[in-house]
Amino acid sequence: MFLIEKINEDNRQRVIDVLKVDVIRHVFAIYDIQYEPEHTTMYAAFDNGSLKGYALVYTALEFPSVVIECEIDVAEKLIEYAPKSHFTMHAPPHLLPIISKRFPDAKYYVEKWMLVKKGEASLFKSKLVRRLRTNDDASKLALLLSSRENRPKRTVKKYVELIGKQAIYGVFVNDKLVSYAGSFIQLPQFWMIGGVYTHTKHRNKGYATFATSAVTEESLKKGKAAALFVRSDNYSAIKVYEKIGYKMIREKLWIDVRTGTNP
C-alpha cells in the first residue's frame, strides 16, 4: 500500500535527499522544488517511507510541463495529478502504456539524454562567439528566434530577463546573431544545456558547435558535467553534441498532450 503526499516545506528536503542519488535523472524535480517552488506542484508516492516516484507540474512556461518518474505500480495514481486540458510531459519509456491509456490523443517523441564530463570534452572555439549580456543582445536574440517556426513569440523584455538569468552564448556574423546555445538549469553538480539554434541560412558552418562548446566550457568550469536532451531523430544536433563529446546516457519520452508543440 502506498501513500501520496504533496511536497511542501516539511517533506521537501527528505525528497531532495533521495533524488540526489541520480541528479541528472531527477534534474527538473531537484531544481524546480528548490528554486522555483512558486511555479511547482509536486506529489510523491511513498511505500513505508520509501519514495516510489513523483509527478510534478511546472507552470512558468507557455504550457504546463509535467515530469513523471515512478515505478509502474504507482503510475496510474500519479498521472491523475497532470492537468486536465493540455500540457507537455517528460516520462521514462516504461510508462508509455499507462500514459497512452490515460491520454489516447497524446503524441510522443523519443529524446536522447546526453552527458559530457569534465576532462572529456572537445571544445571548438571561435572569435565569432561571445556571451549575450546587453539589451541590444536581447533584441538580436528576439530577432533570431522570430525566424524559428512553431515557437511562442516572446517580447524583448522576456529575452532581457532570460540573458540575465541564463548563460547564453551567441555566434555573431557581421554584427548579426546567427546561432546561440544556452543553459536553462544551473546546479552546482552540472548544467543543463538547451535552446541550441542556428538561423536556417547559416547552418552547417560549425556555428552551433561553437556556441554549444562555449556554454559547455563554462558549465565544465563550474561543475563536473554538462547534460542535454535532443530528439532522437535530430541528426544534425546529435552530430554537434557528439563532436563535443556528449554521450547518450538514457532515453526519455517527450509527450505532447494537446499543445500542438514538439521538442
Chain contacts with ligand COA (rule: CB under 6 A): 179, 196-198, 203-209, 230, 234-237, 239-240, 243
Nearest one of 73, 78, 111, 64 to 92, comparing CA atoms: 111
Sorted by sequence, the CB contacts under 8 Å of residue 178 that are 6+ apart come out as: 144, 170, 171, 172, 198, 199, 201, 202, 207
Residue 253 — left, alpha, or beta (φ > 0 → left; ψ -120 to 50 → alpha)? beta
Least spacing, CB of residue 212 vs ligand COA, in Å: 8
CB of 8 or CB of 236, closer to ligand COA: 236
Q: Nearest distance from residue 104's CB to ligand COA, in Å?
A: 28
Task: Report d(CA 228, CA 116) in Å as an integer.
Answer: 9
Left, alpha or beta for 251 (phi > 0: left; psi -120 to 50: alpha)? beta
| Rounded least distance, CB 235 to ligand COA, Å | 3
**CA quadruple 71, 72, 73, 74: dihedral sign:** positive
Residue whose cell numbers read 543553459: 183
Nearer to ligand COA, 4 or 185 (CB): 185
CB of 56 to ligand COA, least distance (A): 22
Nearer to ligand COA, 53 or 245 (CB): 245
78 contacts 55 by C-beta, under 8 angstroms? yes
Cα 15 to the center of its chain, rounded Å: 21
Give 18 or 249: the residue with its C-beta nearer to ligand COA.
249
The distance of closest approach from Cβ of residue 43 to ligand COA in the complex, given in angstroms and rounded to an integer, is: 29
Nearer to ligand COA by C-beta: 102 or 231?
Answer: 231
State which residue, 50 or 150, has the beta carbon closest to ligand COA: 150
Instruction: State in angstroms the smallest separation of the CB of 101 from ligand COA.
Output: 29
Residue 79 or 244: which CB sits closer to ligand COA?
A: 244
Distance (Å, rounded) from C-alpha 247 to C-alpha 263? 19
- Which amino acid type is present at position 190? F
Quote the least distance from Cβ 149 to ligand COA, whole Å.
9
Burial class of residue 214 (count of CB atoms within 10 Å of its CB; 0-12, 13-18, 19+)? buried
